[in-house]
Structure 1
Amino acid sequence: MKIGLVRRGYSRTGGAEAYLRRFAEAASEVGHSIVLFSERWPVEEWPFELVPVDSKSPGTFADAVLALRPRDRCDFVFSLERLHTCDAYRAGDGVHAAWLELRKKFEPPWKAWFRRFSGKHREILMLEKELFGPRGARAVIANSALIRDEIVQHFQYPQTQIQVIHNGVPPFNVPPDARAHTRASLGLKDDDFAILFAGSGWSRKGLRFAIEAMNEAKLDHATLLVAGRGNHRAMPKSQYTRFLGPVKDMPPLLAAADAFILPTIYDPFSNACLEALVAGLPVITSAQNGFSEIIESGLEGEIIQEPNDVPALAAAIKSWSDPDRRAIAKLRLETLGAHYTIAENVRQTLAAIQALR
C-alpha cells in the first residue's frame, strides 16, 4: 500500500525525524511506497516522495494537510503530528493538555497565566481535542502506557483503539577502549563514579533536581556529566557537576558513564534513557517518564515518584555509586535493552498499520 507520513518540523538530530527515516526505509523494503507531507523537510534528506506543506503554525499546518486531501493520494495516513483527522496517530510527543497541567507544579503561577494567551498552546489544545474526538484518528499508537492512559483520561478516547508500542533504538558498537579513552579525556579516574545526564530542555527534564541531588549526596568521587545545550548559569552551583555542551557522539560517553539520571517532569518515553539501558547503565528517572514502565526499580535503576524529590534522588545516586551493585545489574540491563530495537518497533508499527488497513 501507499503510506502517507506526516511530520511538520525537521531537525538533523531529531528523534522523530530519525524514526521516520528508518520507518520509511523498512516499509519500502517490504514493498510499500512512501510519501511524506512536511513543511520543513529538505528534499535532499528524503529519498522518497515529498509533498511540501505551506504553514506558519501547528494549526495552519493541520489545515493545510487537510486541504491537500492526503487520503486521495495514499491508502493510509500515519501522522506523527497533531492533525484534524488521520488513519493512525503516533503519540510520540505526549499529551499537551497533560504536560501543561504538570508543569504548573514546578513554575511560578504567572507563567501559567500568561500561557493562556499563547496562540500556539491554544492551537495545539484544539487540535488534540479534534484528533482524539469522534472524527479524528481512527487509531492511536502510543509509545508508553503513560500516554495511553492520559489520552483516555483527558479525551475519553476508546482504549481499545490505542496500541502501546515502546520506542526502540538502533544498535551501536563502541570500541573496546572507548571507556578508558573517554574517561581519560574527561580526567576521570578508574574508581570515580560518573553519572550522566543527556538532553536539551533542561527545565522539563529536571536537570536542576539532578544537580541539587548531587549536592545533597556529597560523594567526593562522584561527577555529574551534563551533555546537551542549555543555560548552565540558570542552574544551581555545584562542585560535582560538569557541563560538556552538545555531544554528537554519545556511545563513547555512555561507555564512560556508570549510571544515567533523568528526573524529568514529563517525558512520553525517553530515548536517552533507553540508550543508557542498552549500554548497561542503571537509570534513575521519574515516574512521569514513560520509559520507567519497562524497568523495575531497585534492579535496573530507580523510579522516583516525584521528579523534585531531591532526597530520594540523592539516595538513589548513593545506592548506585556501589560498583559491585552496578556489576551485578549490568548483564540484566543489557539483556533488557536488547528487546527495544528500532527494528522491532518498526515491525510492530507496520503490523499495526496493516491490521488497520
Structure 2
Amino acid sequence: MIKLAIVRQKYRPDGGAERFVASALSALSQQKAEQQQLDITVLTRQWNGIKNPSVHIEVCNPFKWGRVSRERGFARAAQKHFSSFDIVQSHERIPGCTIYRAGDGVHKCWLEHRSRIIPEAQAKRMKNDRFHRYVMDAEKQMFEHPKLKAVICISEMVKREIIREFDIDESKLHVIYNSVDSNRFTPTLRDQFRASIRSSLGITDSATCLIFVGSGFERKGLAEAIKAVAKAGAELIVVGKDKSESMYRKLAEAEGVPDRVHFVGVQERPESYYAAADGFILPTIYEPFGNVVLEAMASGLGVITTPTCGGSDIIQSGKNGYICDALDSNSLAEAVSHFCSTEKALMLGKEARKTAEQHSPQRLGHELLKLYGNVLR
C-alpha cells in the first residue's frame, strides 16, 4: 500500500489546478479499487471539491494576515505531515515534497511575460514585491531540494522553463498532460444547448460566435480576444469573473461591439456554453497548459491560443486550431475569421475532438501510477 498525500491549499470550482486534482483523485481512486495499492490523503486549507469516501481530507488552516503569511503558514503546516507519507505530491511551491506538479509554471517567467503588458515602472515594482520574491525563493528551494524526486510538467513549455531557471537534473522532469472528461464535454450537447443559450444572449444561429473561458482576464488575454472578434465581425461569450470586468465592458464599447460581447460570469456547467460556440479563443500572455483548451477541444471546438500557452503543444495550426502571438490582434482576428466558415469551423472541431479523446482520465491515472512506481524504486 502506497501512502500518498496530495497538497492543494484551497479548492476553487473554476480553478484549473483544482479540476486536475479532482480528475486525478477520481482516476487514482478507481485504480486503487482495482489494484488496492493507494491510500490517498489531501492536505488542504479548505476543500469543497470531489467527495470520495476513499480519499481522506486533512485540514491545515493556520492563521494568516497577508499573502506571504498565507503561503508560508500553509507550507509549514503541510510540511509537518510530510513524514507520514511515502509520496507527497504538492500542487503548491513547498520545499521537501517528493513530487511537484508545476501547474502554475515558473513564477519568474510569468513575471517576465506580464512585463509585456504593463508599464515599465509597474513591472520594476512587481519584480521587487515582497510576495513575488517569496514565491521565487520558495520555488528555487523546492526545485533544488534533495527530497524532490520528480516534477510533473504539464507542458513542454514548462519543462523548458524549469531547465532554464533551476539547477535540476532533467531526468526528474516528466511531461504529463492534463485530462478531460470527454463524456461531460462533448459535441453532442450542441443539439441540447446551442439554440437556448444563443437565444438567451441574443445571438442568432447564423452568427459566428467564439467563447473565452477563464477568470483573471488580464493574463488570459480577454482584451485581445475582444479586439479580434470585433475586427472579424464575430461575437464572444465570456465565461469567468474578474474584478476589472467593467473595464473590459468599456473596451467592448470602444471597439463598437458592446452587444456582441456577452459576459455570463462563472458557470457550474460551462459545457453548455461551449456547446453554443463555433470556436474557442484564449490569447493568453502566459498559461502553463490550460484545462479549458482540452475542455473546448472535447466539446468539438477548434482552439485559438498562443505560443505562451502550454496547450499549444497539442494544437496543429490549421488542423485543430491556430497559434498566434498574444498581442497580435491582426493575426488573432485572421484566425477568428476562419471560424466564419461553418464548414471550416466544423472541420477544426472534429479534429480537436479527436485530439482531446487521447487525454482521458484513465490515461492520466495510468501515467501517475507509473510515475509513483518509478519514484518509489
Fold match (TM-score > 0.5) = yes
State the secondary structure of the residue aligned to 2:177: coil
Q: Please report how far the alpha carbon of residue 43 of structure 1 lies from its aligned counterpart in structure 2 after TM superposition.
A: 10
Q: Measured at CA, do residues 293 and 124 of structure 1 come closer, stay the same or move farther in structure 2, by a change above 3 Å?
A: same
Q: Secondary structure at the match of 1:197?
A: strand
Aligned partners of 1:3 and 1:74 also within 8 Å? yes
Render the CA deviation track for 1:272-326: whole Å, top value 9, x for unaligned.
Answer: 111111111111111100001101011111101x201011011111122111212
- Matched with 1:16 is 17
**Matched residue of 1:93: which SS?**
coil
Structure 1 equivalent of residue 356 of structure 2? 337
The sequence identity of aligned pairs, in percent, is 32
Figure out how many residues of one structure are paired with residues of the other and give that number: 351
Per the TM alignment, residue 46 of structure 1 is displaced from its structure 2 partner at its CA by: 6.4
CA distance in 1, matches of 2:78, 2:42: 11
Q: Tell me, yes or no, if structure 1 residue 241 matches structure 2 residue 265.
A: no
Q: Matched residue of 1:105: which SS?
A: coil
Contact 1:280/1:331 (CA < 8 Å) preserved in 2? yes
Task: Select which of 48, 61, 64 maps to 2:77.
Answer: 64
Match of 2:238 in 1: 226
Change beyond 3 A, Cα 1:329–1:24: closer
Show the counterpart of 1:251.
271
With normalisation by structure 2, the TM-score equals 0.87
More displaced 10-residue stretch of structure 1: 166-175 or 136-145: 166-175
Give the C-alpha shift of residue 241 in structure 1. 1.8
Q: Once structures 1 and 2 are overlaid, which stretch shifts more, 316-325 or 236-245?
A: 236-245
TM-aligned CA distance change 1:46 to 1:107, over 3 Å:
farther
Matches within 5 A, 1:6-85: 6-29=7-30, 30=32, 31=36, 32-41=38-47, 47=53, 48-55=55-62, 56=64, 57-66=70-79, 68-71=80-83, 73-85=84-96
Q: Which residue of 2 aligns with 1:283?
A: 303
Supply the distance in 1 between the matched residues of 2:161 and 2:93 (Cα, whole angstroms): 15
- Alignment check: 8 A CA contact 2:90 2:97 kept: yes
What are the within-5 Å matches in structure 2 for residues 87-236 of structure 1?
Answer: 87-135=98-146, 137-170=148-181, 171-172=183-184, 174-175=188-189, 176-217=191-232, 219=233, 222-230=234-242, 231-235=244-248, 236=251
Amino acid of the structure 2 residue aligned with 1:147 = V
Amino acid at match of 2:47: W
Given that residues 295 and 301 in structure 1 are in contact (C-alpha distance below 8 angstroms), is that contact kept between their aligned partners in structure 2? Answer: yes
**Do the aligned residues in 2 keep the contact of 1:58 with 1:120 (CA within 8 Å)?**
no
Per the TM alignment, residue 169 of structure 1 is displaced from its structure 2 partner at its CA by 1.3
CA distance in 2 between partners of 1:182 and 1:328 (Å): 22
Displacement of 1:347 in angstroms is 1.9
Structure 2, unpaired ranges of 5+: 65-69
Answer whether contact 1:43 1:50 (CA < 8 A) is retained. Answer: no
- The residue identity in structure 1 corresponding to 2:225 is A
Match of 1:266 in 2: 286
TM (norm. structure 1) is: 0.92
What is the CA–CA distance in structure 1 between the aligned matches of 2:162 and 2:343, rounded to whole Å? 41
| Secondary structure in structure 2 of the residue aligned to 1:86 | coil
Query: Which moves more between the two structures, 151-160 or 97-106?
Result: 151-160
